[in-house]
Amino acid sequence: MRLRRHGDHWLLIGGPVPPGSAAITLGSVVCVRRGYVDDPRLLRHEEEHVRQWRELGKVEFLRQYLGAYLRWRRHGFGHQAAYRLIPLEVEAEAAAERFAADPGGGGDQPLI
Ligand SMILES: [Zn+2]
């Protein structure tokens, strides 16, 4: 594992990542699999989670994130579908999409 400063947060390269995922963000630490550390779209997605953690705080982030996931699961959605419907994930994906569409563009978030 390697810890690298990346703008206003940290990359823990080769750090613990759930099965089937390329990365996970916990507070200001982005754990990313080695093979994905040079994927700017993925990193932009995770940077949005860093921003969400800061804005909401850990308790509120986890309440919103897990609450939405469990709500969709109770409604009968499978893991992947429930995950994709979490509003915080939708927001992170939107940020990644905006970045992918215009990697050098300004947008409302500085590119680090
Ligand atoms: Zn995400």
Burial-class residue 23 by CB neighbours within 10 Å (0-12, 13-18, 19+). buried
Q: What is the pLDDT of residue 103?
A: 85
Give 28 Cα–ligand 1 centroid separation in angstroms: 14
Residues of the chain with pLDDT under 70: 106-112
pTM of the model: 0.90
Near ion ligand 1, which residues have CB within 5 Å? 89, 92
Per-residue confidence (pLDDT) for residue 86, from 0 to 100: 98
Ligand 1 centroid–CA 46 distance in Å is 6
Q: Looking at residue 104, what is its pLDDT? A: 80
Q: How many residues does the chain have?
A: 112
* Maximal C-alpha separation, the chain: 41
| pLDDT at position 107 | 53
Distance of CA 65 from the midpoint of ligand 1 (Å): 10
